[in-house]
Amino acid sequence: MELIDSNNLTDSMKMGEKKADVFTVTCNRDRFDISAGRYAEVQVTVSGQGERPDNYKVTISFQFEVKNQDLEWIISSQGIENKKMKVEEISELVLPSKNRPVESMVHIQGTKPFTFMIRVLTPKSSEYGDHARMSIRIESTTDPAISGSCTTDIYIVATIVALKVQIGKEVEIARDLGNKVKQNRIDYVFSIFVPGETSKLKGYVFVETIQPDRMLSFIKNVKGIKGVVKGEMDIAEIMHYMTPRAAVENLQVGNFVELIDGPFKGEKGRIVEIDTANDKIVVELTESLVPIPVTVRAGSVRVIDKE
């Protein structure tokens, strides 16, 4: 009978021993780009926890880079998939100014990987560029060597909200909203735009905002707006509707127009001259006793009839 040197045996071949799984903790995403008042849903998967039932401590910690240290970030847990485990429910408020780790316990009976969800609700009054790095660490209460962690970054970014408006009044409404932004020094709206005149998408105005939940109050008392379209979108989803070009390209000498901005707002006239280089036109006001030529920006008129 051939003798085998025990020094040549692999760990898995040694009597009474079994190669242990590597304990791992993984997050489903490395980064979330979301607007204020929205959830980042982090799916956490734990595997290689061993055969014996054990208790594990879950520690959630943050590194904040935010402008307002007193805005609350809400942390909660949900979506447990493995029935052979029990997770203490997490429901906590985290203040950057009093940044303390959130702790919970997990009891695991089975050996299969298990998954649960950590939800982070960003403050509704967050500002652009606010950033939180969340670290989730899970460690055995009986063996400190059995531990693992994962991290994910949450960035507050702008999103696009669509407003349903009266067809034919898109530019005028966008301009009224822009004036409201300037007059009230609104800092949560970054841009307002409408599809080009050749676009098939009529009756919408788009607002780029950091705080979409404030749109109802933002559009209050602005005429011609029918409501806020549910849901948000990325600007890439609507870029093909945009046709940025000089306003004079859509105008011709002889067009009858209505002035929709400036001191002559509401007056009607006829275009008598076009200054393509400066994107300006000369309009002869036709409703006055004596025709008065005025020079205005090409974007401050709406064509009502073509000669």
pLDDT in tens, 23-49: 899 999 999 999 999 999 999 988 887
Encode pLDDT of 90-115 as tens digits: 889 999 999 899 998 887 776 778 88
CA angle (121 as vertex; 205, 114 as ends), nearest 5: 125
Mean residue pLDDT of the chain comes to 84
pTM above 0.85, yes or no: no
243 pLDDT band, cuts 50/70/90, is low
Question: Quick check: 9 pLDDT over 50?
Answer: no
pLDDT at 273: 93
Lowest-confidence range among 168-172, 193-197, 251-255?
A: 193-197
**Residues 181, 120 share a domain:** no
Mean pLDDT within 188-194: 90
* 148 contacts 137 by C-beta, under 8 angstroms: yes
Does any domain span residue 218? yes
pLDDT at 222: 93
Domain housing 185: 159-241
Does any domain span residue 264? yes
Lowest-confidence range among 94-103, 139-148, 156-165, 210-219?
A: 139-148
Does any domain span residue 301? yes
Higher pLDDT, 197 or 13: 197
**Residues 171, 262 share a domain:** no
**Residues 133, 60 share a domain:** yes
Question: Quick check: 250 pLDDT over 80?
Answer: no
Does any domain span residue 137? yes
